[in-house]
Every structure is written in C-alpha cells, then in structure tokens.
Amino acid sequence: MYAAIRVRGLPDRSRKIENTLKHMGLNQRNSLVFLPETETFEGMLDKTKDIVTYGAVSQEFLEEFLEDRIDIESVYESIGEDSFEDLVDKIDEGEISLSEAVGEGFVNTFDMNSPKKGFKNTKRQFKQSGSLGFRENHRIEKLIRRM
C-alpha cells in the first residue's frame, strides 16, 4: 500500500488537481491517506506530486499504525478475511475495492499533526532535498512517525 500526505495547500491550482485530491481523500494539509498500489492511484499520485509526498509502507507498519486508531479485528472479520495481511493483500490486488473496505469500517484517511522539526522544503521534490513527491525505501514511515 501507499501512504500519501498532503504537504501544501491549494492556492492557484487547477480544478483537475483539486478534484484528484478530493477523490484520494486529501482534503486538507497534513492529512494522511492509505491507497492500494494500482495504476489508477499511481497516476493520481504522479499528477499531484507537487502537492503531496508519498511512498510504499510495509504491512507491519500499516498494522501497527492502524492498531492505535481503529479496531482492526472487527474490520477484517466483517469483510470475511482470516487476517489483516489477507485483507491488505486483497485490497492491493484489487479483489476487494477500497470503498468496499471503507464501508465495512476500514479507515484510510487520517488528520495528522505537523511533523516534529517540520518539513525540509515544501517547494522541492524529495530527490532534491525537499519534502514533495515519491519517497523510496519506506522513508514515508519515518515521516509518519514524526507526525
């Protein structure tokens, strides 16, 4: 799964980008959303790379993060899965849609605080020592822990 965090606001942005952010569930700054690794969401993330930062998260991190915030066991039992790993795998593979999982109690949007020690630079890409765009090697997890 991908984790995406909205870093910037929307002054002078096009309607297309604004609608894309709404479809992903990133309605305000410092909001976090978990998205499956599908071509559709990868295209949406690429389109909004100048406003959000995103990266892949491990299943262990995702389970640890969600344990603090929702009752995971009731979610995957109501969907009919044996474990949390099976639920995440089926969402990633597209067997269960994200909206179907959300309807059963799976939460994928969270309002977060600003990160401790702040963002590096909110106008540059991560590869250019900034805070925007794609983060490799699960580096998004480190940012989420700081929030």
Task: Provide the pLDDT for residue 54.
Answer: 93
Residue 105 pLDDT > 80 = no
- Determine, yes or no, domain membership for 64: no
Residue 77 pLDDT > 90 = no
- Determine, yes or no, domain membership for 127: yes
Instruction: Kindly tell me the sign of the dihedral angle through the C-alpha atoms of 13, 15, 20, 26.
Output: positive
- Determine, yes or no, domain membership for 13: yes
- Determine, yes or no, domain membership for 68: no
- Determine, yes or no, domain membership for 85: no
What's the domain range around 19? 2-56+109-146
Give pLDDT tens digits for 28-45. 888 999 888 889 889 999
Sheet holding 2-6, edge to edge: 109-111, 31-35, 2-6, 52-56, 133-134
pTM greater than 0.75 (yes/no): yes
The count of structural domains within the chain is 1
The Cβ of residue 106 has, within 10 Å, a number of other Cβ atoms equal to 22
- Determine, yes or no, domain membership for 16: yes
